[in-house]
Structure 1
């Protein structure tokens, strides 16, 4: 069956890049943030977030779902 090459397909995202969707970000002054760690599942992220809040109580951390691939390595 012939395929229509005029239909453009969106670029495929590598499986490795789709794994680490959940992240912990540290909130910094002047509305800046930095990603501290990335995780496969939300429950792993929540557990590590609780530990970070206990270890560094003066810092502000948030749990985020990061769907943008430009920042991932």
Structure 2
């Protein structure tokens, strides 16, 4: 994952049918993500959006396959 994405752990996600989703944008702060969430809900009231925290673990903490 690029360094820029590691600095932006809050993700705005659009939920789609059949358990699919689209990552709309990434944010540094939760309040920025929630502000955009409110705007998207007003612009597209029939769609579902959520904010998630998607931290990036350093490589040494990720699971390794042997």
How does the TM-score come out when normalised to structure 1? 0.69
For the pair shown, the structure with the greater C-alpha radius of gyration is 1
1:32-51 correspondence to structure 2 within 5 Å: 32-51=20-39
Q: How many residue pairs align between the two structures?
A: 57
Higher relative contact order (CA 8 A, sep 6+): 2
Helix, strand or coil at the partner of 2:38: helix
Segments of structure 1 that go 5 or more residues without pairing to the other structure are 1-12
Uncovered stretches (5+) of structure 2, i.e. residues with no partner: 58-66
Cα RMSD (Å) of the superposition?
Answer: 2.0
